[in-house]
Each structure stands twice: as C-alpha cells, then as structure tokens.
A and B are shown apart, each in its own frame.
Chain A
C-alpha cells in the first residue's frame, strides 16, 4: 500500500496508516519499495497478455517474428519502388533495425494507452502502485522486441555487415530507448484516463513519428531545410547512435549519446511525476 503506509511482512501483522498528504506525490520511498515488491505482477501481466494474444492462433508465437519481418519487407519494397530500385541489403538492415527499435517505443505506448483504463476492476478494488500497469506495457513491448533481434541478425549476416565490438554499444542505447519509452508510456497511460479519445489520435501520431524518424531513409539524406524535424525528434539521436553502432560497427558520437541521455531522463522524470502524482485519482475517474 502506498499512501504513507508502513507495510511489514504480509503474513505477520501489518499496520497501514492512510493520511492525506500535500498535493502531488505520495512518499516516494515507500512507493518504490511497494513497486519493487510487486514487480512480479508486471512480469506476469506481460506474459499473460502475450499468451492470450499469441498462443491460440495457428502459427502462435511465430507471429512475433513474422509480423515485424513482413512489415519490414513491405516498407523495404515501398522505399525501393519510390527511390527507383537503388536500395540494397545494407539499407534493408538499416530499415529493419530502425523499425524494430521504433516499434519497441510505439508498441509500449500503444499498449500503455490501454493499461490504466483497461485495469478498471483491479484499480477500483486493489491498492497497489498503479505505475506497475504502464511498466508492464513496456515489458510486453520489450518481450516482443527480443525475437526481432533474430530477424535482424540474419539480415545483418546476409548483407555482409561487419561485426565489431562496437556493436555492444547497442545495449546502453537500447536501455536509453527503453527508459525514454517508459516515460512517454506513463504519460500517455495517465492522459488517456482524462481524454479517452486520445487512442483515436494515437495511431496517426505514431505513424507520423515513424516517417519523421530516420528509418525509411538515412539521416544524412535529409535536406538542410528539413533537418529541424530530426533535431526536435527525441528518437533521432537514439536511432542514429544505434545505426552507427550496429549497422556500421562504429562507436556512436558522445554528443549523440549525451543528447539521448538527456531526452531519456527528461521523459522518464516528467512521465513518472505526471503519472504518480495523479494515480490516486484514477479510481474515481474510471
């Protein structure tokens, strides 16, 4: 319980004190303690959702690999046609990497937008840190992302791209992407409670964001007059660093890493404060 309670072990005696607190955040120490204690809820919710979505179709879990692969090939065909057939397998590797990383973010936002409003009965009837719900959406998106790495690895090998130690930069870069996604997901999950039609806008917004990110093109191809679009896009430094490290086997630029870090920290701070300071209201808003 997180309203300033002093929880001891569940099966011995427990004392909970609920008192009003000043506007804004609940005591964060006990909030995050409770959050950590119930982390298994977030994992279990992700697993259950994945199971429910994929285990009863004919190809089952295979769709977790086929879906992103087909989507990547459709985009690749589109871009090849538009650009007059000049794109090779290296570009396919770039496109798939960007697309899969982008889907980690957009998938978590999309799932997260449903997380609080879809948690109705649970929110009405159980006291628990509500942040577990959007966090579980991020986990689900991450679990969906993992099999796509296999698809990428195959394309990477077929395209004959180098495998260097620099590829390990992908780990911190992906961590920053996940942190950034967490912040945006918490924000969207909370805003959805107040504006239920957000979900109608969301697909269009995410689609425009895809096109505004250097996925279907190389960042270097963007004309000077339109480069501001890249500069305002938080995913630009993250995706560009990822391309450098994984596609090209280079060390990403420290400036881009720092830029990514600033965006990730800003997003997660803002998203978490927005969500946690409002979550006590969710039970009366659903």
Chain B
C-alpha cells in the first residue's frame, strides 16, 4: 500500500540491499510429476498400462523466476488460473522443493494457502488450530497464548468445540484467516483468502490485512480481487505460464494485466470485490 512513509518501489531500483531481503528467489524452476487422475488407483494404473497410456504427467509450473523482496513489502501476485502462482507460494513456504534454482527466506512464514486450517473435519476447531500450529513448529505454550485471540477474531464462540464438519464454508474461511493473521508471522503468504465470510467479516479481514500491511510485515497476496490488490500492495508480480511477465507498481501491472485479460477497469463482476 503506497503511503508517505513507505515509498513504492520503482522499476529503476526494485532490488533491496542484501541485508534487507525477506525473500530471495533465484532462477527458480519447479517441475513436478503428478498423476493424470485425481484419485489414482491400482485399477486405473493397470488399465492405462494395458492401453500403453501415460499415467503420469509432468507440469512445469514455475520457470526461471527470479526476484527479491525487502522486509516490509506487500507483494501482490496476479496471473490466470494455472499460471503457477500457488506453486510459487508453496515453494516460498518450503512445501514444494525447487527443481532448479534457490529460495532463501528470512523469517517465520505463516501460510494461508487455499485456506489451510481444518484438515481433519472430525476434529474440533480448537484441535485443528492446535494441531496446525504444532505442525508449523510452534510450541503448545505459544499456541495457547494466541488461542483466545484467534477464536475471538474468527467469531466462532461455541463452534470452536464442535467438529469442523459442522462448519459452513464461511466459518472455515474465517477460522483459517484468523489463524494465519494472528500467529504473528514475519512473512505472511495469503492465497485467495481475502474474501471469506459475509460482507461484515470481509470488511473486518480487509481492515486486518491493511493493519498487517502497515506493520512493516512482508506479505505475499495471491488474489483475483484486483481492486483490493491495488489498495493493499506495494508492488505486483504478474506470473504467466510459469514465468514472470512483469513486476512493477501495482497500478502499472494491474492495468497491463487487465488489458491482457480484456476486462474493463471497472467491471465489477470481474474484479471480485467484496
């Protein structure tokens, strides 16, 4: 978010000094092999083999991407579905290993990729929050210190002690958002999570995001909500077919991206705003 104290980086000098890096990505390529079917079975594999079909497909999700981001920068990532945005985020989070190149991250990362909390719907919201935190490497005491804040922000009250399969999708999203923003990460990765819950909660999460953006945290936001991206980010990276197509001021990149998409600047449906 461009403000007086926080000048937006310009194209001429986008590179921060070495000491200030929060995230440094060098010549990163991520290629992975995945099965053609979403639920591979022995039966389908044998059937494919019998017909001499391939059951494995190679996906070059990210190709030769390099950038570095200074501490305190809010970076937006735009691109079409399947462009490699989520793969890039997961590589920064250490979930997917690079195939070539290198990623260096300075700081503790919290991810909100595709709404992460709630992996086990049989367990309560409380269990899921604690387990998610423990898996992320926090101690029990650290999680308990944050727990009340998380529950309060998510506004789930008694639902925190019910199995998550009783939650509506909005409640899921609220809890996930609350966990990610309240764990006080140095680096926050947010993937498509700006618009969860009802209109009021959207407003509240937008305000919380704005607050976090102002606290000089490093934040990566992947979203199709382009109007919000213009308001929140300091710079935007446009990923197209796994490659970095553009990196510049939010307005410059988003204008170019919208032109590429053929969407008018104020097309409300396409902008997916709250």
Contacts and interface: CB of A to CB of B under 8 A. Distances in A.
Interface of A: 1-3, 5, 7, 10-11, 13-21, 34, 37-38, 40-41, 44-45, 48-49, 51-52, 118-128, 132, 194-198, 280-281, 283-285
Contact of A45 (B91, B95, B118, B131): B131
16 contacts: A5-B94, A14-B107, A14-B108, A49-B122, A52-B127, A119-B119, A123-B95, A124-B114, A126-B93, A127-B136, A195-B40, A197-B42, A198-B42, A280-B97, A281-B33, A284-B33
B119 A127 contact: no
B130 interface: yes
Given A14-B106, A281-B32, A121 B94 contact: no
A122 B111 CA distance: 11
A285 B140 contact: no
B135 A128 contact: yes
B231 interface: no
Contacts of A45: 131
Given A18-B102, A20-B97, A281-B33, A126 B136 contact: yes
B258 interface: no
B122 A125 contact: no
A210 B105 CA distance: 50
A120 B119 contact: yes
B141 to A, nearest CB: 11
A285 B105 contact: no
B150 to A, nearest CB: 16
B202 interface: no
Contacts of A49: 120, 122-123
Given A40-B140, A52-B163, A122 B119 contact: yes
Contacts of B91: 18
Nearest to A132: B135
Contacts of A128: 135-137
Contact of A124 (B32, B45, B106, B113): B113
Contacts of B105: 14-18
Given A38-B137, A44-B130, A48-B123, A196 B41 contact: yes
A38 B118 contact: no
Interface in B112-134: 112-120, 122-124, 127, 130-132, 134
Question: For the side of the interface on B, what is the size category?
Answer: 35 or more
A156 to B, nearest CB: 35
A48 B127 contact: yes
Contact of B41 (A20, A51, A125, A195): A195
B113 A125 contact: yes
B22 to A, nearest CB: 11
A227 B136 CA distance: 49
Nearest to B134: A41
Contacts of A15: 104-106
B270 interface: no
Contact of B135 (A21, A122, A280): A122
Select the residue from A18, A38, A45, A198 with max chain B CB neighbours within 10 A: A18
Given A13-B106, A195-B41, A195-B42, A126 B34 contact: no
A21 B97 CA distance: 8
A141 B33 CA distance: 33
The list of the 3 closest CB pairs from A to B, nearest first, reads A125-B116, A127-B94, A122-B119
